[in-house]
């Protein structure tokens, strides 16, 4: 993403009880079911949180979100993961105001900090490390720019703790997500997994750094059940989807 401030409009629409965020185009940049403001409405945002299946609570202690949008991921973490300190980097200075006014984003506090700036530049220059990094940044033409380059992914790897997990939203039925996934694979030395394409055209890639990760399939399912009980987020179907694209020899996920 360029350091030049975006000039596109910020538009809000509603349909059948769901509110949507747009950046001057038909592309949906975020959504909230009005009666369930804390829930992750879009399927791809749910799978962005699949890293919660890889580690035991109280992980994560810190999270970096690049791209705010409607604030769905920030809200979910703030509400349901009270141990987590959240830093959000958003390049458009008006997006946080829209997220608060229309999508119930909480005000900043001791756990939630919003920075207006370039996420690619931040991970390249700052030395702070995070347990969880979530990347979901697109412009009004659904382009990720510098947020989809090998140097950016390498910088994200360097910003993770030894128990760190990285997740990125790779949008692109037409543009092709495989090149993006390959860049992540290179940056993380093959320690990644990619979910199948969502109906919306989004693909979520997860990658890890630090110590070798080995998680039995039974433990993934147990963590998913606990997560559903505690937060309402149901990642059990995502485990089934993951088995389509990721080998699990002897029922063990190795990254």
Q: How far apart are the first and last CA of the chain?
A: 29
Burial of 244 (0-12, 13-18, 19+ CB in 10 A): exposed
Give the DSSP per-residue string, 11-43: EEEEETTEEEEESSSSSEEEEEETT-TTS--SH
Report the 10 Å Cβ neighbour count for 21: 24
- The CA distance from 102 to 209, in Å, is 36
Q: Is 118 a catalytic residue?
A: no
**Is residue 67 left, alpha or beta, with left meaning phi > 0 and alpha meaning psi from -120 to 50?**
left
The one catalytic residue in 15, 56, 118, 136 is 136
Enumerate the active-site residues: 136
């Amino acid at each position: 993403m360029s350091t030049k401030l975006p000039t596109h409009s910020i538009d809000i629409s509603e349909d059948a009880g769901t509110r949507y965020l747009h950046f001057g185009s038909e592309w949906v940049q975020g959504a909230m079911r009005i009666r369930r403001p804390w829930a992750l409405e879009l399927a791809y945002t749910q799978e962005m949180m699949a890293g919660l299946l890889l580690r035991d609570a109280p992980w994560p202690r810190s999270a970096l979100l690049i791209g705010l949008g409607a604030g769905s991921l920030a809200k979910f973490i703030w509400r349901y993961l009270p141990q987590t300190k959240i830093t959000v980097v958003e390049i458009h200075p008006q997006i946080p105001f829209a997220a608060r006014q229309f999508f119930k984003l909480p005000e900043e506090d001791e756990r939630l900090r919003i920075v207006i700036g370039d996420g690619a530049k931040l991970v390249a220059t700052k030395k702070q490390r995070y347990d969880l990094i979530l990347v979901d940044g697109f412009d009004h033409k659904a382009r990720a720019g510098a947020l989809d380059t090998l140097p950016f992914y390498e910088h994200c790897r360097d910003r993770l703790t030894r128990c760190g997990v990285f997740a990125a939203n790779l949008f692109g039925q037409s543009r092709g997500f495989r090149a993006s996934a390959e860049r992540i694979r290179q940056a993380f030395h093959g320690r990644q997994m990619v979910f199948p394409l969502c109906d919306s055209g989004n693909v979520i890639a997860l990658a890890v750094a630090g110590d070798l990760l080995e998680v039995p399939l039974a433990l993934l399912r147990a963590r998913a059940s606990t997560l559903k009980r505690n937060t309402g987020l149901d990642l059990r179907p995502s485990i089934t989807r993951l088995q389509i694209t990721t080998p699990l020899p002897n029922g063990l996920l190795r990254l």
